[in-house]
Amino acid sequence: MALAILLAIPLALVGKWIDIELRKLNSRFLKTAKEGARDGDTKKVGRQIVKSVSAIFFAFTIFTVVGTYLLTIMIFLIYPQIGASILTALKLVYFAIPFFGVVGILDNLRDKKIFKFVVAFGATYLILVLIGGVI
Amino acid sequence: MRIALIKTFFRSFFIQGCWNFEGMQNVGFAFGISPVLLKTVEGKKMRSKALLNSLELFNTHPYMATAILGAAAGMERAKSIDDGKDGKDGRDDISEMKKMLSGPLAGLGDSFFWAALKPLFSIIAVISGFMNGLIAPVVFIILYNSVHIWIRIKGFLEGVKHGIGVVNFFQRLKLPLVTERLSGMIVIITGVLLAGLSFFTPHFLDIESFGFWRELRVLLIVPFFIILFARKKGVSLLLMLYIFSFISVVVISLLG
């Protein structure tokens, strides 16, 4: 699982690049929408939304299918070659991923008093771990 | 008119449909308001003016855009009624209303939906996933959308009814206060989730054989704070994840 996540992250960057390119493409649709607006043609404006949504749908469907296919092949090729020590390291990485996720969540909290949230989180974690350890 | 308003509400779901760097959500807004314009604005020239006005720069939180669309629709309707009486042009008022509301509502929506509601319901879904993996996405979709769709519907109706007065509806909701309380809940629930993971994950991953795991569990909070500190200093989480993976591979290979 950790191997899959580590290999998939660069694909997410490709997805971001596709997203930016699609938004640039939308500027063309905006020009056509403005032409439609000048003629008072509401249907022409609506068609630009349909075109844009269709472009997004097809681009990401193709990207998801191709990306999943490539990633699956890579994992099937790489996984049998991995040694025992790297497998153990990958298990550790898999275990650490939720920690990175929690950092992401705490980092996203838009509050000036972030410190009190961090303290509350740390206290909850430590209390539960200590109680759990005693039990 | 009622059907036009219903169409506008459903079209508000496509507000980001043609997001572009020049006008942002402007095409989505024009698409959304079109059914109302068709009902309220007579004549090609006037409709052209109204459509071009609705294509001006517009950007806000996508869920809050529904309330602004509702307010614009309500003002368009009121304007068409006024036109019948004294021929006033309220189009500039609609533009002003969009500019006045889009910024503050974007801020409210970002902090409430993206930074509080989504993480909270994601964590609840993850916890429910421990009971049954398949139930997690269903739990998330039901919980999140029940709040999101309610705010969309209520915001739209309030907008249609009160125009720019829709802002009172959001004031009554006290979203900043709710966001702060939700943030508090998030940290407590993540603490519980992570403590649970520290007990169960080693068992699932079969790394209890390390022996010193019980002692390490309490100390896990230290690397956590280091990662959080580094993140606050602007270091990318992905970069840290790859560095951690590399160090893990090197250290465990050396240890054999």
Count of structural domains within chain A: 2
C-alpha to C-alpha distance for A106 and B243, rounded to whole angstroms: 21
A130: closest chain B residue by CA: B218
- Whether residue A89 sits in one domain with residue A48: no
Q: What tokens does A11 get?
A: 């694909």
CB B79 within 8 A of CB B90: yes
Residues 6+ apart with CB under 8 A from A37: A44, A45, B30, B48, B51, B52, B54, B55
Q: What is the dihedral of CA B35, B40, B43, B48, to 10 degrees?
A: -60
pLDDT of residue B152: 95
pLDDT of residue A111: 58
Over residues B4-44, the pLDDT tens digits come to: 999 999 999 999 989 999 999 999 999 999 999 998 888 88
Q: Do B192 and A124 touch (CB under 8 A)?
A: yes
Q: Do B237 and A27 touch (CB under 8 A)?
A: no
- Whether residue A130 sits in one domain with residue A67: no
Range of weakest confidence among A66-70, A113-117, B23-27, B116-120: A113-117
- Whether residue A69 sits in one domain with residue A109: no
- Whether residue A52 sits in one domain with residue A1: yes
- Whether residue A67 sits in one domain with residue A107: no
- Whether residue A24 sits in one domain with residue A77: yes
CB A97 within 8 A of CB B238: no
A47 phi/psi in degrees, rounded to 5: -65, -30
- Whether residue A61 sits in one domain with residue A8: yes
- Whether residue A102 sits in one domain with residue A76: no
- Whether residue A72 sits in one domain with residue A122: no
Give the domain-ending residue among A81, A101, A127. Answer: A81
CB-CB neighbors (< 8 A) of B115 in chain A? 108-110
Mean pLDDT of B121-130: 84
Q: Is A9 on the interface with B (CB under 8 A)?
A: yes
- Whether residue A118 sits in one domain with residue A91: yes
Q: Do A105 and B123 touch (CB under 8 A)?
A: yes
Range of the domain at A50: 1-81
Name the amino acid, one letter, at A87. Answer: L
pTM for the predicted model, two decimal places:
0.82
- Whether residue A2 sits in one domain with residue A16: yes
